[in-house]
């Protein structure tokens, strides 16, 4: 019985991790869209910042790592949430 409870708690934590990483990935996408796709000036008060090519590459690598990590969690849970 204790193994079942431990396994259930572990699955709950993994689902929470999955939701966190999906939210983080969505926020990174939104950050990129807001700062790179809209024309206009980069005003510190407007919340937009210039992104260099190296920073863009780093963000895209981070998103790629997140997608791999999310896929691993989905595989562990046996779901495709």
> Contact at 8 Å (CB) between 36 and 56?
yes
**Model confidence over 48-63: pLDDT tens digits?**
777 888 988 999 999 9
pLDDT in tens, 18-50: 999 999 999 999 988 887 776 666 666 666 777
List the chain domain ranges: 12-77
Can you state the angle between helices 53-77 and 2-36, rounded to 10 degrees?
150
Q: Do 14 and 73 meet the contact criterion of CB atoms below 8 Å apart?
A: yes
Alpha-carbon distance of 79 to 76, in angstroms, equals: 8
């Amino acid at each position: 019985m204790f193994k079942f409870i431990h396994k259930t708690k572990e699955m709950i934590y993994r689902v929470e991790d999955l939701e966190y990483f999906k939210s983080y990935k969505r926020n990174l996408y939104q950050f990129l869209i807001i700062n790179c796709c809209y024309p206009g000036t980069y005003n510190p008060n407007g919340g937009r910042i210039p992104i260099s090519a190296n920073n863009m590459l780093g963000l895209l690598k981070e998103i790629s790592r997140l997608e791999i990590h999310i896929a691993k969690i989905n595989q562990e849970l046996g779901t495709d949430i």
